[in-house]
Copies of this chain bind each other. A is one copy, B any other.
Amino acid sequence: MINILFTGNDASWDEYAPHLTEAFKQLPFTTNLARDIPPAEVDYIVFGGGEAPITDFTPFTRAKLVQRLWAGVEDIVDNKTLTIPLARMVGGGLDQGMVEWVTGHVLRHHLGMDAHLHGQDGVWRNDVTPPLARDRQVTILGLGALGQACGQALAHLGFPVTGWSRSQKQITGITCLSGQDGLLAALSTAQVLVLLLPKTPATENTLNHETIARLPKGAVVLNPGRGGLIDDQALLDALDRGHLAHATLDTFRTEPLPADDPFWAHPKVTVTPHIASATRADLAAEVVATNIKRGEAGEEFLHLVDRTAGY
């Protein structure tokens, strides 16, 4: 009997428990999934977060893995009591949802869709033929599972895609850059910039006065990554000056974004409420089951967090 502790709020439990139960039935051993298992008897922790998350992992003396149900781990990665492996969610619908949101919003800006949506006034404005995707440069900062999937989807549609990451990568269809010089080069061509970096001390305010100045005039920023990647005031200044044309933001330093935040009312900002990518319980349950199966077979866990890098 493998004891699997689920930690998360009621809504999260109601959403995930049936799918986890179903996925665990396929495992070659019996499992006990519950929210109230004595810490010393827990084998695996499925960590959905919620109102009162675990902050002290010391009592979980025999646990083998903490498995997060989503991609970000910035709230847990620095916990000194967490000495067992920590896995992020990779897959579980996160990548597919992100591809759909990023592709949709890149195309929205590429096609000039807003002008048409707001221009239902009887005036036939067809004098400008917009460029094809092949003439619209997209840059993605962050080439993890999400950045890579989004970059390849956009490249498949014909966009020239540049990607930047901390360590140099090689990804089919994407021009990969790294390092500080690489960052400035990646920014310099970005007609659309997509932020998909993890939130770590090193990525805080990646988009600031200096880096925004490297973007071509009229660039559009999409941030489905993390709010802390952007210096908010620098972004607002650049929009007001007309250096940037638009920002579509899905993540914020404070969520829900307060009703009086200037982003809501800004004519060049679109706020979406952290919906770019959500874990889908049915798909995530399969990922969790696979990792527990690997653990019991003595195999290496998938999607482990590099505690030094912070993601």
Contact = CB atoms under 8 A, between A and B. Distances in A.
A302 interface: no
A132 interface: yes
A270 B116 CA distance: 8
A108 interface: yes
Interface in A78-130: 93, 96-97, 99-101, 103-105, 107-108, 110-111, 113-114, 116-117, 120-126, 129-130
Interface residues of A, number: 51
A271 interface: yes
Interface string A200-234: 00000000000000000000000000000000000
A38 interface: no
A310 interface: no
Count of identical protomers in the assembly: 2
A120 B264 contact: yes
B259 A133 contact: no
Interface in A274-289: 274-275, 278, 280
Contacts of A122: 257-261, 264-265
Nearest to A156: B156
16 contacts: A96-B134, A96-B158, A100-B132, A104-B107, A107-B107, A108-B113, A116-B272, A122-B264, A123-B259, A124-B256, A124-B273, A125-B273, A129-B278, A130-B275, A153-B156, A153-B157
Given A99-B158, A104-B110, A123-B259, 18 more contacts: A97-B132, A99-B157, A100-B110, A100-B132, A101-B111, A103-B157, A104-B104, A116-B272, A116-B273, A117-B270, A120-B264, A120-B269, A120-B270, A125-B273, A126-B256, A129-B275, A129-B280, A156-B156
